Amino acid sequence: MIGRDEIFQVKREIDNYVGSKVRIRANKGRKKIVVKEGVIQSTYPSIFVVSLDDDSQKAPRVVSYSYTDILTHTVELSLCQEN
């Protein structure tokens, strides 16, 4: 079972990277895996918000994920290297 301390620890880690570019690998079920890049916009007590880079749309797409998604490996974050 996932405890509050673990969730809080993940939140603190993500707080350090607000404004950073990340690569998101999300498991959408039934062998569907989505890989996108975006910027962590903000964190809240239960979720964090990422603005995705999407060239096909005029406005950036905003998605949110919970910290438990990270702990259960449904969502994986990795920092993008700045060039």
CATH T-level fold of 4-79: SH3 type barrels. (2.30.30)
Strands 47-52 and 75-79: unpaired
Average pLDDT, the chain: 90
Q: Calculate mean pLDDT across residues 39-67.
A: 88
- Specify the pLDDT at position 3: 86
65 strand-pairing partners: 48
User: What is the edge-to-edge ordering of all strands in the sheet holding 75-79?
Assistant: 61-66, 47-52, 32-43, 21-29, 75-79
Backbone phi, then psi, for 12, in 5-degree steps?
-60, -40
Q: Report the distance separating Cα 46 and Cα 7, nearest Å.
A: 8
- Specify the pLDDT at position 48: 97
Could you read off the pLDDT of 14-46 as tens digits, one per residue? Answer: 999 999 999 999 998 888 999 999 999 999 999
